[in-house]
Amino acid sequence: MTPTLAPTWVQLVYLACAVCFILALKGLAGPRTARGGNLVGAAAAVVAVAVPFTYLDLDHVALILVAIAVGGVVGAVGAQRVQMTQMPQLVALFNGVGGGAAALVALLELGHLGDATPAFDVGATAFTVAVGAVSFAGSVVTFAKLQELMTSRPVVFPGLPVLFGALLLATLVLAGLVVAEVAVGWAVGLALVGLAVGVLLVLPVGGADVPIVISLLNALTGLTVAAGGYVLGNIVLLVAGTLVGASGTFLTLLMARAMGRSVASILFGALRGGSTLGAGEASDRPVRSAGPEDVAILLGYAERVVVVPGYGLAVAQAQHTLRELVEVLAARGARVDYAIHPVAGRMPGHMNVLLAEAQVPYEQLVEMDDINPELPHTDVVLVVGANDVVNPAARTTPSAPIYGMPILDVDQARQVVFLKRSMRPGFAGIENELLFDPRTTLLFGDAKESLAKLLAAVKAL
């Protein structure tokens, strides 16, 4: 059926909300405007949700309000309690809920469509059901991998490509039947097949590739929301979904480029042994280690220091101690910057947000392309919880799963200090030969405790 045309004032309000979403996305492009952009987007979303109560004769209003209240409480509590290291998991869950909700709305809307409904409208509904289900199931699996509820390594089995291809074909057939017969039964089958496709899409993905898949699924959710907006005749959903779909697509491509790989190799690389495989075994090769006092001497008398933060810093919640150490080194006359790799941590911007939380000046955060030319002239590079983003195998070992990934050229510095909990490799599951370089010193222990000891030792110099 054709959606009921909203009053002019409602359309104007929706248009204003859509503009606010665009402004919010623009605000999120920079650290100084991100908070304001987030607030603008949230306010527009609240207005968009409230408007239907003012002009529509809604059924089950009490149930709708209860659902909004429960969702609001769960979302607020979850966002308050989530750790910085768990932010990608939260994004995956939110993304999955969005895709699942879009699929359910499309299923309900299909029950109101008649045989006279244009085929394009029914096709958009079928698309929303299928892709929303894929996004929901895939996001649940990515959450499970990141939360370590299942292995982070690729899960493959004989016949997986054949089964996946058969499910894709079944998706197209069922979508065609939905369009031809406008039948809810076929749509339910389409949703179930979409759930299976989502699971099989993510199972072969491992390790550091999972955040890229989250971004891809986020783009898919945006497309489902946009399609749902078209079906419902809602400009806010149409614009918001398009923004999410476009930005998610660009982010996916940028992350893949930062990994030096294609999206296809990320999704299906494990089927031919090319995926980022996940954590491997700890090495027992000899390395040069030192105590906090020895490392403090290296840092205390260095004129140029670069800090490389990684996921281990986030796990240890050591960003405040690290900032204090950097301030002490700067007070002693050293020039200190933070080198930020595009995919350091679990998602783009993870390190930026983590360090901003510790009140680190944004001017000290230097992107990879800008800091690499300075590393050959750097006295000491302090690597805190990073591994794959400084692994020279990305340049030197064609068989390595991270080969071709742009990295921070830490191996060109005069001295390198790694703060590590153990000798286990990073998400790529391969050894970092830089750890065994004669210029490299390892300081073992929890990052927060090691930095606290290092800070005290530098102050004592």
Distance CA 179, CA 120 (A): 8
Q: Residue 392, Cα to own-chain centre: how many angstroms? A: 24
**Catalytic (active site) residue 388:** yes
Contact status, residue 51 vs residue 13, Cβ threshold 8 Å:
yes
Q: What are phi and psi of 418, to 5 degrees?
A: -105, 125
Contact status, residue 345 vs residue 310, Cβ threshold 8 Å:
yes
User: What is the DSSP secondary structure assignment for residue 338, as one 8-state letter?
Assistant: E
Burial 130-149 (b: 16+ CB within 10 A, else e): bbbbbbbbbbbbbbbbbeee
C-alpha distances out from residue 83 to 88, 95, 361, Å: 10, 18, 22
Q: What are phi and psi of 337, to 5 degrees?
A: -135, 160
* Catalytic residue of the set 121, 388, 409, 411: 388
Distance CA 443, CA 421 (A): 8
Contact status, residue 61 vs residue 53, Cβ threshold 8 Å:
yes
184-202 and 160-181 helices cross at what angle (nearest 10)?
Answer: 160
For the purposes of burial, counting CB atoms within 10 Å of the CB of 274, is it exposed (0-12), middle (13-18) or buried (19 or more)? Answer: middle
Q: What are phi and psi of 60, to 5 degrees?
A: 55, 45
Q: Which residues are catalytic?
A: 388
